[in-house]
Amino acid sequence: MTDDLCFMPARELARLIHARKVSAREVMSAHLERIGRLNPKLNAIVAKLDDAECVALADKADRRMASGADEVFLVTRRFRARAVLGPLLEAHRDRIKPEAISEIENGARLSSGDLASAMVQHGELMERMRRFQETYPFVICAVNQVPPFDATIDWPKEIAGVTMEHYIAWMKSAYWISATFCPAISVPAGFTADGLPVGVQIVGRYRDDLGVLQIAHAFEQATGFGLKRPALS
């Protein structure tokens, strides 16, 4: 496979990387191995980055592929917050909560390059999701990472010992789906050991809202979870 990667056209390598059949690190490592093996005899490459730097760049590309949904959603949200709420911050800073102030100010710090990068990643994310759903038309996943919490808490600062880096991080499993533009619905899926309600998220193909509603209805009819009510104290 190593030599195969070295002789593939760039378009084919890009297709395999985007389809998650091979990683950017694997492609880079294959080429570095071949260069290290043959270049002492051929002397075909005069200058290149250190191997460690090359691998680090490949790892960065892999991380970008894996975390695209997060950057797409947060950059877009911050840009919108600045555009829509910026004048309110200037006029009423003392009446706006700290999280909203941070969101608007982060939006003000965005560059055109940041926004362009997010838009490119958004297109890549939607294409990956489209290809994935050619095989799996529906995705079942968590709605969020925590069960219902005390109403006196503004937002969960920590989950299972992991600090939440911002005030909507506890909803990542929901907003990652939002970034795909796919229709989704939350349906009742039972209760925790403490009797708190939990749900699952059903995600369909882009614009297949009807399919999502149909499978959600079938799920509710089969499980009956929606007929039960949590005990109120």
Q: How buried is 157 (Cβ within 10 angstroms: 0-12 exposed, 13-18 middle, 19+ buried)?
A: exposed
CA distance 183 to 177: 8
Q: What's the pLDDT tens digit per position in 35-60?
A: 999 988 888 887 789 999 999 988 88
Read off the tokens for 43: 């002397």
Q: How far is CA 24 from CA 3, 119, 212, in A?
A: 15, 21, 34
What are the extents of the domains in the chain? 2-66, 67-120, 136-233
Say if residue 215's pLDDT is above 80. yes
Q: Which residue, among 135, 139, 221, has the nearest Cα to 176 in the 3D structure?
A: 139
Q: What's the pLDDT tens digit per position in 117-148?
A: 899 889 988 988 998 899 999 999 999 899 99
Q: What's the pLDDT tens digit per position in 164-213?
A: 999 999 999 999 999 999 999 999 999 999 889 999 999 999 999 999 99
Torsion angle in degrees (nearest 10) through CA of 109, 56, 38, 3: -100
**Mean pLDDT across the chain:** 91
Strands in 184-191's sheet, in edge-to-edge order, are 139-142, 197-203, 184-191
